[in-house]
Structure 1
Amino acid sequence: MSKKKTVFLTGATGNMGSCGLKELLKEPSKYNIVILARTSVKDKEMLKQYEGLDNLKIVWGDLINYNDVKTCVNGADIILHVAAFVSPEADYHPEQAMRINYGSTVNIINAIKESPNRDSIKLVYIGTVAQTGDRMPPIHWGRVGDPIKPSVHDYYAVSKIAAERAVIESGLRYWVSLRQTGIFSQHMVEINDGITFHNCLDNVLEYVSDHDSGVLLKNICDDLPEDFWGHIYNIGGGKKARLNTYQMFKDMFEVMGLTKLEYALDANWFATRNFHGQYYLDSDKLENYLHFRSHGTEYFTDLYKKNNPSAIRAAKIITRFPGGQKLIGSTVRKQFEKTARTEHGPLFWVENNKLDYIEPFFISKEARDAISPSIKDFKPYSDYDRVVHIDHGYDETKPESMLDIEDLKKAAAFRGGKCMSDNMTMGDMRTGLSFKCAFGHSFEASPRLILEGGHWCPQCERESWNYHEIAKRSEFFAQVWYPLHSQNEPSKVYPKKVNELEYT
């Protein structure tokens, strides 16, 4: 019989973490679980149901407190780092997002390094699809290694990019970064924030359910082959979990008998750029290791029905009568329009001339004003099956064991920079090399970070969103910029309020 494993799970009171906890607790003979939770009323109440379980230890503390983290890492076989300060809250509190998301990750890495069994502890880091940012059609199919491109003002993504870099470059023997997609969950149904309208009508996401995310966390605690570790993967629910935003709203309203979207929504409430999302060319790779998928888009519809049973029953009756759809649509419209006028809603930006938001999300004020309000005039994108290939700038047909310094030099040149190192041990993806970016910044990075992670210059990343200028210099980045932007657009630079160096 195999040894019982000790699992340190962070974020056990959040969406993904709570589902992971439930799945792990189903196998008390296999796992001892340690969780770190804050002493908030909400967390205390949520975890009350688990008090007294023999295989669960609750440590009350905080991930940004190193001693609390070290207590939990001590004796752990595997660490599931799920906890994060997420959007929309992270959009309002960027300093807190960086302190929690980056700071907690560095604490965990350092605690592992101080452990006597550091070379056997496995770290599972949960990243995010937001790291690759806006991938609107026609470049809506992606894979790991594509350019890192957090959307302007998305400090959740900024903090997670810094944290993932720390994991990849940590020197730990066993690590993996899993970039989580949008999660179908009760939390998604309940969001009432302007971020709803950042999600462009033609945008796509390959979602995954909260339940399946929990199964993933349990299954990753099994004994996996050595070649699983030391890589980055995209989490996605596969073909049946792919959904565009326009279709999501159609499905949601049709549940209540509302088939005329124009009664409930205006097209110009929704951004046309600058929100994360993509379908995956490579998400089956993780599924083949972890076998976690069971749900598709119907899971979201079922959650919506469960969350609003009385309102849906009443609406389905009313919409059968003449004028009923208009009545129900008007009721829905009032709530959505109110949300679109909150601080991070597009109507608020337009009415208050917030150009630093209007321009990233709509290209320009003029472009936004040109959008017809009527959603009947909206022409949905239809060619979602067409794949536009993103070139990574080196010979990807070569096995990893055959990659050498020439591949890194080609990749660097494709990014508008230069690999300053002259030597590399063939197939060594861990040892850092010296690079210079197109703006003259010198930095060190491992081949894994560059080729598989899609990361590039840390100084450019931490200073600002300067995408027009980067695209002019980098063929690599231009592939995910110019399909969505004109080369004649004025260059816009948006300085970042925080960076990870403040929390090192």
Structure 2
Amino acid sequence: MRKTRILLTGATGTMGYSVLKELVNELDKFELILLVRDTDNKKELIQPYKKLSGVTIYWGDLTNYKDVFECVRHADIILHVAAFVSPAADYYPLLAMKTNYGSTKNILTAIREQGRMEKVKLVYIGTVAETGDRIPPIHWGRVGDPIKPSIFDYYAVSKVAAERIVIESGLTYWVSLRQTGIMGPAMSKINDPILFHNGLDNVLEYVSDRDSGRLLRNLCSLDYEEELSPEFWNHIYNIGGGESCRVDTYSMFEDIFGAIGIKDLDYVISPRWFATKNFHGQYYLDSDKLEEFLHFRQDSMQYFYEEYIKNLGVTASLSKVICKIPGGQKIMGSILKKVFLKMARTEHGTVHFVENNMENQISAYWGSKDKWKQLPTSIHDLERPKDWNRVIVLDHGYEEEKPENKLDLSDIKEAAVFRGGKVNSISMQVGDLRTPLTLTCAFGHTFEASPRLILEGGHWCPVCERESWNYGRRAKIDPFFAQVWDPLHEGEASFMEYKKEVNELMV
């Protein structure tokens, strides 16, 4: 049997490198093509694989079409893992769009120009950040919920635009896998004020770097053995580690600092340092679907806690000793607290926003300065959600129990009205979720979108998405979107609109 030729992008990143380590163990099945930037500061990770038979390293750039064209020409499966992610994307939004959207556009254009639309299989890695803030009470979610990249999150904005063109590409074989927070050594080393954007009540269903590697290895292996169900393709899935990988930020801090002897979080952090909204994350109602196809889950949150302690090295051992003596927790905590406060005062830090009266940021992350002032100064006075297992299933605006091959124009019309818009197309083949229809949103923008993009993807008007974060106005006239906005913004008198500095038309 001929080997499957796999193009892997992002091989030096957290997920991509885990995938690479898995795939090189199966070079009896695969030939690997790695597209790596010669200027990549992690390119030394690739050096051990240069001499392996079955591994070809192409030194190039995903934003350079000629490089992409050459690599795509040799590929049967493309694992498009590469991304310019947060927190770096927060500092360079245009580069994020060029890298994340531009690279995806280059890949799709190359496939099309090579006349291989029916042959190449594209695995696109999306992100949980596409659906934005989902703190309690709407912290359980699924594919098809509204797309809502958080304000100022240009990484998410770029990934939304990229996922849209994948779904609408016309490829015979595509899939979008929305990656969640990846736990492992890399996550344990994050030293950026984005830590404080992740609110104490925020939740995430994480997955490990190792399980992420196993996921794509299993996908490729099952495809090679012709054991991957045809039903797998042309869908969107949430990647999640399952129940053992679900945790809220507060509980994560309790476990992390408790492991080094600090049992009272008041010694280490303040509630006023943390945003209360506008991050991303959810517990998944549907992440088991991907596990049923690819059987990749092995790790739990315990893996991350072990990696975190390992990363601290001698500091962890020293902290455990100090915390055993009277007053030791307070001493150790005060040292860490100074480090965290200094971080929160940097350019993208939450304390920096407040101390410099940055109105747009304050509104986005707390609702208002008054809302921030209402936060307690002590962790012990913080009101915490009480029912983490309460599930609010969002309405997608059409008869979801109806088999996919029975969905017709009336279903799309119903969904469009629930989004404050309408369908302009006068006909649709029953069960055809692939062919774009013409629609109009509540703000009068006319656009084209496939039923798959809207019903399964949760996407809507690309013009609104491109121009601004107009969420407050949109929620007033879009019942579908209001489900993910109103519960988190009760009592806010006015809603600011934030113009976007970057969009996909700039690439």
Normalising by the smaller structure, the TM-score range is over 0.9
Q: Extract unaligned runs of 5+ from structure 2.
A: none
Q: Does the CA contact (< 8 Å) of 1:414 and 1:476 recur in 2?
A: yes
Q: Map 1:174-185 to 2 at 5 A.
A: 174-185=173-184
**Between the two proteins, what is the percent identity of the paired residues?**
58
- Output the amino acid matched with 2:331: L
1:381 aligned partner: 385
How many Å separate the matches in 1 of 2:205 and 2:398?
Answer: 27
1:258 aligned partner: 262
Q: In the TM superposition, what whole-angstrom CA distance separates every residue of 1:371-426 from its partner, at most 9, and x where no partner exists?
A: 11111111221211100110000000100000000000000000000011121100
More displaced 10-residue stretch of structure 1: 113-122 or 351-360:
113-122
Question: Could you say what the CA RMSD is over the residues aligned between the two structures, in angstroms?
Answer: 0.9
1:216 aligned partner: 215
How many Å separate the matches in 2 of 1:116 and 1:439?
Answer: 38
- Output the amino acid matched with 1:264: V
Q: Against the structure 1 CA distance between its residues 424 and 386, is the aligned structure 2 distance closer, same or farther, given a 3 Å change threshold?
A: same
Alignment length (residue pairs): 502
Q: Does the CA contact (< 8 Å) of 1:417 and 1:435 recur in 2?
A: yes
1:412 aligned partner: 416
2:193 aligned partner: 194
- Output the amino acid matched with 2:403: P
2:241 aligned partner: 237
- Output the amino acid matched with 2:325: F
Q: Does the CA contact (< 8 Å) of 2:117 and 2:170 recur in 1?
A: no
2:435 aligned partner: 431
More displaced 10-residue stretch of structure 1: 116-125 or 77-86:
116-125
1:399 aligned to which of 386, 399, 403: 403
1:4 aligned partner: 3
| TM-score between both structures, scaled by the size of structure 1 | 0.98
Q: Map 1:93-492 to 2 at 5 A.
A: 93-221=92-220, 222-223=222-223, 224-486=228-490, 488-492=492-496
- Output the amino acid matched with 1:182: G
How many Å separate the matches in 2 of 1:495 and 1:23?
Answer: 42
2:25 aligned partner: 26
2:83 aligned partner: 84
4+ long deviations beyond 3 Å: none
How many Å separate the matches in 1 of 2:76 and 2:403?
Answer: 31
Q: Does the CA contact (< 8 Å) of 1:37 and 1:43 recur in 2?
A: no
Q: Against the structure 1 CA distance between its residues 116 and 458, is the aligned structure 2 distance closer, same or farther, given a 3 Å change threshold?
A: closer
Alpha-carbon distance, 1:502 to partner: 1.3
Alpha-carbon distance, 1:312 to partner: 0.8
Alpha-carbon distance, 1:487 to partner: 6.1
- Output the amino acid matched with 1:146: D
SS in 2 for 1:205: strand
Q: Does the CA contact (< 8 Å) of 1:119 and 1:172 recur in 2?
A: yes
1:501 aligned partner: 505
More displaced 10-residue stretch of structure 1: 87-96 or 113-122:
113-122
How many Å separate the matches in 1 of 2:200 and 2:96?
Answer: 27
Alpha-carbon distance, 1:490 to partner: 0.5
- Output the amino acid matched with 1:5: T
Q: Against the structure 1 CA distance between its residues 349 and 488, is the aligned structure 2 distance closer, same or farther, given a 3 Å change threshold?
A: closer
| TM-score between both structures, scaled by the size of structure 2 | 0.98
